[in-house]
């Protein structure tokens, strides 16, 4: 079931490229990082240049996301994790506390506002669970340690859940230690048969060192080295470069059934972020406060034999106020002030959606949003300006039209057309060169897509395939100055045709006898033929070049084997083709094959208590690769070497 389109509907009939990672899929993957789990979704590329340093893109937005998430809207329950300024602190979340993930691929601004890549919905609660208490500890190579405790208590009208975790990891390279303290709690009160009030709060304190990029010769000489000093700049160790993010997020969600036909969802939320980043050339601090609301009404039809429909109407509003301060970095300590700015960013959008099922076979959706975005800024140092300068963008309509047709009970064809819109983020308007760029424009594009889903009669097999063409205009791309400070420009556009396929099948269905008591095969194929269009920079014409940072093919395949005595074996292989590292396409990261394996054993201590032991290994083929490259890097420092063969083990207790 998919909830992303405001009400639950079967994934088979959803007229969109949507992927679901439920509890069963998430439990197979390592729970120390989002990367491995998200990379099983075709079209998604998650990277971790060093422990805790995530980079996420959907269908090729890596040029905008050198240090995090761009072009993708992320929600935690009904609460936006992406703030009004476009920042998403995904690395603040501990994936071990997430029970369900939905990935909506391609521009989906009709319901979720500005994005041109897609939407990720994180759900911290599995509503099918009732009462439980679970605890787990795992450890592994390079000083990995991760502990977690979760509990949920459910009564007739109330559901309370609490999650706590702590993770630390020394890292493969010098200057790459991370640790994260995480607390998350939620309560849901069912005050009417189909109405509930939910409260959520989380606190995350994440601190990680950043080793920095190496050039090819340095990587070959010592891949575990942090960035080395040069004749003009100190290195990562000398400057003690790291990132600390403290985030407090909370919200209330009221899901109310007003009548038999009318439902309202109202979410009010806010978050506070303290961010510090001693870097090579400066020490940046950000103080960010966000507040907002999201609400929508749903009107359901009086069902008829051959027609059923729903109408949604809503609004989302956000305001983020930021103070961004830059100082000299004196070996990890703040020095003299370079610049201090206040930037207040606001965005809101109205949305409407009509969905109808006709003759129980044709599903039609028409949706649109009207988006408003703007920011104002003033300098506190050195100018001490008293008034704000305003920059408002024109209102933009983002429509989406989609349909699916149930050719047979188990074969459904779908098609959609949608518009993408993504204004510049605060980090792009005010990048590390400390110059506010008011000329940066929003990028826009149209996405055309078709595909199908096929299942067998008992639903043990599912094939999901789609082909799309996304034409993006005024693309925002990152550029670097000789001193390695960054800035962003609009660069013409991109042509992004692609093909995605996901397939799962229980080759041997679950049974209680034999050596192999269940065998499941999964594969995800991503084919990207993304190229620049009308891209000219400083006299160089990059039109027709491959889109930087995007591999042409990625194939992730896995086997899950169930054995006697509740033993299980899980094996996963990731093939990633070569990756262009600069816009000129003169340097490529070589292709790589990642092989990981996990063996587990479960034992029922009592009727309600289950013990699980597991152990595994990653990068079994000992591949030398970089999981997260620095694109268009100064000094050819493109590479962030990933660990060689490494091991992990753990224990879980569920009651």
Residue 476 has pLDDT above 90, yes or no: no
Confidence (pLDDT) at 128: 65
Confidence (pLDDT) at 387: 93
Q: Is the bond preceding residue 382 a cis peptide, omega within 30 degrees?
A: yes
Q: Please, is 177 exposed, middle or buried when counting C-beta atoms within 10 Å of its C-beta (0-12, 13-18, 19+)?
A: buried
DSSP 90: G
* Two tokens, residue 580: 């262009």
pLDDT classification of 125: cutoffs 50, 70, 90: confident
Q: What is the pTM for the complete model shown?
A: 0.94
Which residues, in sequence order, are CB contacts of 546 under 8 Å at separation 6+?
Answer: 530, 531, 532, 552, 580, 585
* Biggest distance spanned by C-alpha atoms of the chain: 77
Confidence (pLDDT) at 536: 87
Contact assessment for residue 552 and residue 576, using Cβ atoms and an 8 Å cutoff: no
Residue 129 has pLDDT above 70, yes or no: no
- CA–CA–CA angle 349, 353, 357 (5° rounding): 165
Pairing relation of β-strands 18-21 and 100-105? antiparallel
Residue 492 has pLDDT above 90, yes or no: no
CA distance 253 to 269: 9
Q: How do residues 200-229 score in pLDDT, each as one tens digit?
A: 999 999 999 999 999 999 999 999 999 999
Confidence (pLDDT) at 345: 97
Which residues is 152 bridged to in the sheet?
Answer: 132, 161
Q: Comparing 233 with 290, which gets the higher pLDDT?
A: 290
pLDDT classification of 481: cutoffs 50, 70, 90: confident
pLDDT classification of 414: cutoffs 50, 70, 90: very high
Q: In this structure, how many other beta carbons lie within 10 angstroms of the beta carbon of residue 242? A: 20
Residue 484 has pLDDT above 80, yes or no: no
**DSSP E strand boundaries for 212-261:** 242-257
Q: How do residues 11-21 score in pLDDT, each as one tens digit?
A: 888 888 999 99
Confidence (pLDDT) at 437: 92
Section 495-523 average pLDDT: 96
pLDDT classification of 498: cutoffs 50, 70, 90: very high
Lowest mean pLDDT across 114-118, 245-249, 523-527: 114-118
Count, in order, helices (H) and strands (E) of the chain: 6, 37
CA distance 48 to 642: 9
Contact assessment for residue 65 and residue 86, using Cβ atoms and an 8 Å cutoff: no
Confidence (pLDDT) at 508: 95
Out of 59-68, 78-87, 260-269, give the one with best mean pLDDT.
260-269
* Two tokens, residue 488: 């962003």
Residue 66 has pLDDT above 70, yes or no: no
Which residues is 416 bridged to in the sheet?
Answer: 402, 449
Pairing relation of β-strands 333-358 and 132-140? unpaired
Q: How do residues 161-194 score in pLDDT, each as one tens digit?
A: 999 999 999 999 999 999 999 999 999 999 999 9
Average per-residue pLDDT for the chain: 93
CA distance 357 to 365: 9
Q: How do residues 348-399 score in pLDDT, each as one tens digit?
A: 999 999 999 999 899 999 999 999 999 999 999 999 999 999 999 999 999 9
């Amino acid at each position: 079931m998919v909830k992303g389109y405001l009400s639950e509907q079967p994934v088979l009939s959803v007229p969109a490229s949507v992927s679901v990672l439920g509890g069963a899929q998430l439990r197979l993957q390592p729970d120390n990082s989002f990367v491995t789990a998200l990379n099983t979704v075709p079209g998604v590329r998650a990277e971790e240049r060093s422990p805790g340093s995530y980079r996420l893109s959907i269908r090729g937005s890596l040029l905008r996301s050198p240090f995090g998430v761009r072009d993708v809207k992320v929600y935690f329950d009904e609460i936006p994790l992406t703030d009004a300024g476009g920042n998403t602190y995904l690395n603040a979340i501990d994936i071990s506390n997430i029970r369900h993930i939905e990935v909506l691929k391609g521009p989906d601004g009709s319901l979720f506002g500005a994005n041109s890549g897609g939407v990720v919905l994180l759900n911290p609660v599995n509503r099918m669970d009732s009462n439980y208490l679970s605890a787990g500890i795992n450890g592994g190579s390079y000083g990995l340690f991760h502990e977690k405790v979760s509990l949920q208590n459910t009564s007739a009208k109330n559901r309370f859940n609490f999650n706590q975790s702590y993770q630390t990891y020394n890292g493969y390279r010098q200057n790459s230690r991370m640790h994260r303290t995480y607390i998350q709690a939620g309560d849901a009160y069912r005050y009417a048969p189909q109405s509930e009030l939910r409260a959520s709060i989380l606190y995350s304190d994440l601190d990680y060192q950043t080793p920095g990029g190496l050039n090819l010769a340095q990587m070959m000489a010592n891949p575990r080295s942090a960035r080395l000093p040069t004749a003009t700049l100190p290195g990562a160790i000398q400057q003690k470069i790291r990132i600390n993010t403290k985030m407090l997020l909370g919200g209330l969600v009221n899901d109310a059934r007003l009548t038999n036909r009318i439902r309202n969802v109202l979410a009010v939320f806010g978050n506070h972020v303290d961010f510090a980043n001693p870097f090579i050339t400066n020490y940046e601090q950000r103080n960010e406060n966000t507040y907002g609301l999201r609400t929508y009404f749903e009107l359901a039809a009086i069902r008829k034999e051959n027609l059923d429909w729903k109408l949604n109407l809503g609004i989302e509003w956000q305001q983020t106020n930021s103070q961004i301060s830059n100082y000299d970095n004196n070996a990890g300590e703040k020095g003299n002030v370079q610049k201090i700015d206040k930037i207040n960013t606001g965005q809101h959008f109205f949305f409407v959606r009509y969905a109808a099922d006709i003759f129980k076979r044709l599903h039609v959706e028409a949706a649109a949003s009207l988006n408003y975005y703007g920011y104002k800024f003033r300098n506190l140092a050195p100018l001490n300006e008293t008034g704000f300068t305003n920059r408002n963008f024109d209102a933009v309509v983002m429509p989406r039209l989609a349909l699916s047709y149930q050719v047979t009970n188990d074969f459904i064809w779908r098609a959609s057309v949608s518009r993408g819109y993504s204004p510049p983020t605060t980090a792009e308007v005010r990048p590390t060169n400390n110059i506010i760029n008011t000329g940066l424009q929003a990028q826009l594009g149209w996405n055309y897509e078709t595909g199908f889903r096929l299942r067998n009669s008992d639903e043990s097999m599912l094939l999901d395939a789609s082909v799309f063409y996304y034409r993006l205009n005024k693309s925002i791309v990152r550029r670097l100055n000789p001193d390695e400070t960054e800035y962003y420009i609009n660069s013409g556009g991109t042509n992004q045709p692609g093909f995605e396929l996901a397939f799962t099948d229980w080759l041997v269905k679950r049974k209680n006898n034999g050596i192999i008591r269940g065998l499941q095969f999964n594969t995800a194929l991503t084919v990207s033929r993304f190229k620049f269009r009308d891209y000219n920079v400083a006299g160089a014409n990059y039109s027709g070049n491959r889109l930087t940072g995007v591999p042409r093919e990625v194939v992730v395949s896995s086997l899950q084997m169930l054995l006697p005595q509740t033993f299980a074996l899980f094996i996963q292989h990731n093939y990633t083709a070569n990756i262009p590292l600069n816009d000129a396409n003169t340097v490529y990261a070589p292709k790589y094959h990642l092989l990981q394996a996990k063996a587990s054993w479960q034992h029922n201590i009592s009727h309600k208590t289950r013990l699980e032991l597991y152990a595994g290994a990653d990068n079994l083929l000992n591949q030398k690769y970089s999981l997260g490259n620095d694109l268009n890097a100064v000094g050819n420092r493109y590479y962030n070497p990933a660990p060689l063969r490494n091991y992990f083990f753990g224990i879980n207790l569920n009651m």
